[in-house]
Amino acid sequence: MGSYRFILSGGGTGGHIYPAIAIANELKRRYPDAEFLFVGAKDRMEMEKVPQAGYKIEGLWITGIQRKLTLKNVLFPIKLISSLMKANSIVSKFKPHAVIGTGGFASGPLLKMATVKGIPCVLQEQNSFAGITNKLLKDKVAKICVAYDGMEKFFPKDKIVKTGNPVRSDLVELKATKSEALDYFELKENKKTLLVLGGSLGARRINELIAEHLAYFEELGLQVIWQCGKGYYETYKLHQSNNIKVHAFLNTMDKAYVAADFIISRAGAGAVSELCLVGKPTFYIPSPVVAEDHQTMNALSLVGHNAAIMIREKELNENFKSEFEAVFASPEKQAELSRNSKALALPNATADICNEIEKLLK
């Protein structure tokens, strides 16, 4: 058998791109001679992130359907036909042995064409509420790797394998010690640390919440590592002090996680999978503007196991302080949240997904 060829498709957000890169890295480790091609949407972030990770990518001219009548929607059928034709030509030329879709619009046309040609396809669904692209492809693919229980309401039961979501390999074993991590952020060892994460782009409402509560955190004796996002950095860097460290972006997530005693975060699928592994008491504030409100579903699946606290954006004003204090004041509650979230972590997800892909190659 010559070397294998794999196509990976997914994108639009880090939540779809990151798992695809993790899966490619693991397949490359197993098959050093394999060839890889990524397929994404032309003007989205995958066109930059995938080459940075060392892989080739081709872009399709595709966008999602907007919920209201816009020029984009009028163009949608044309874009779809153009994408299907380009996907067909990519698959015919590259002749992959397997195709992996991690969600996002570009994976639709590509996996559709691959299944038509009888190439084995694997879907990876990160969220507890399945995305529209994956739901459309469910009957034609060979396997669907999921991260949550109860996914048979979206997918055929016999195709589902619960693997979890790929997480960054440096997070599976956090190597820094607490004092090294605090030292790195120039923080003190005798204070508790709150880590604030709004996702790679930042989150407006979370940033406002933190700015409003800086004096309150000071009263509690907390120090803060605040990742506010590139677009918000100019506004919030003025709050930088001995106890408040404001960052546009955190390149050393592993150290940030080790330094933290408490975490406030959005509830994207990737973040939730990482934070279960990290096992620190976490307050999720789901983004209310994502498709199918899947961040709320992700957070609720942890709340149901008593593994996290969720506060909706619209309830922050009245509930944030009381929810935060209840955990802050109770070492028992902190230990319980940590224990339960770690119990839900699936640290071998990437390897388990690649095992499913390998079975299809045989």
Task: Kindly state the average pLDDT of the residues 113-127.
Answer: 96
At 355, which amino acid appears? N
Same domain, 116 and 197: no
Query: pTM of the full predicted structure?
Result: 0.85
Report CA-CA distances (Å) from 58 to 24, 63, 83, 225, 356.
15, 15, 11, 37, 25
User: Which single residue is written with the structure tokens 């990160």?
Assistant: 126
Query: Do 202 and 135 fall into the same domain?
Result: no
Q: Over range 303-331, report the average pLDDT.
A: 96
How many CB atoms sit inside 10 A of residue 218's CB?
14
Please give the pLDDT value at position 82.
81
Range(s) of the domain holding residue 292 = 170-344
Q: What pLDDT score was predicted for residue 65?
A: 56
What's the confidence (pLDDT) of residue 27? Answer: 97
Contact 151, 160 (CB under 8 A): yes
Same domain, 300 and 270: yes
Q: What 3-state class would DSSP assign to 218?
A: helix
Contact in structure between 288 and 312 (CB atoms under 8 Å): yes
74 and 187 fall within a common domain: no
Binding residues for UDP-N-acetyl-alpha-D-glucosamine: 13-15, 127, 168, 200, 295
**For residue 23, is pLDDT > 90?**
yes
- As for how many domains the chain has, the answer is 2
Order of all β-strands in the sheet with 57-60: 57-60, 35-41, 5-9, 98-101, 121-125, 143-146, 160-162
Judge if 129 and 94 occupy the same domain.
yes
Do 139 and 220 belong together in one domain? no
Regarding whether 286 and 213 lie in a shared domain, the answer is yes
DSSP 8-state secondary structure symbol assigned to residue 242: S
Closest CA relative to residue 276, chosen from 131, 127, 171: 171
Count CB atoms within 10 A of the CB of residue 344. Answer: 19
Distances (CA, A) of 40 to 46, 87, 90, 296: 6, 10, 12, 26
Report the DSSP beta bridge partners of residue 310: 284
Q: Check which CATH number belongs to the domain holding 80 and give it.
A: 3.40.50.2000
Nearest by Cα to 254 from 353, 327, 184, 187: 184
Query: Is the pLDDT assigned to residue 1 strictly greater than 70?
Result: no
SS3 assignment, position 7: strand
Is the pLDDT at 309 greater than 70? The verdict is: yes
- Which structure tokens are listed for 70? 């816009």
Sign for the CA dihedral angle at 236, 269, 12, 351 comes to: positive
**Binding-site annotation, residues:** 13-15, 127, 168, 200, 295
The Cα–Cα gap between 76 and 227 comes to 36
Q: Do both 122 and 235 map to the same domain? A: no
51 and 186 in a single domain? The answer is no
**Which of 138-152, 197-211, 260-274, 312-326 shows the lowest mean pLDDT across its residues?**
197-211
Q: Are residues 323 and 265 in the same domain?
A: yes
Question: Are 238 and 126 found together in one domain?
Answer: no
Cβ within 8 Å of residue 213, ≥6 positions away = 320, 321
Rounded to an integer, the average pLDDT of 226-251 is: 94
Tokens of 260: 């933290």
Asked if pLDDT for residue 58 goes beyond 80, the answer is yes
- The whole-angstrom separation of Cα 188 and Cα 242 is 9
**Do 235 and 294 belong to one domain?**
yes
pLDDT at 67: 54
Q: Which of 107, 126, 122 is nearest to 270 (CA)?
A: 126
Contact of 116 with 84, CB cutoff 8 Å:
no
Residue type, 294: H
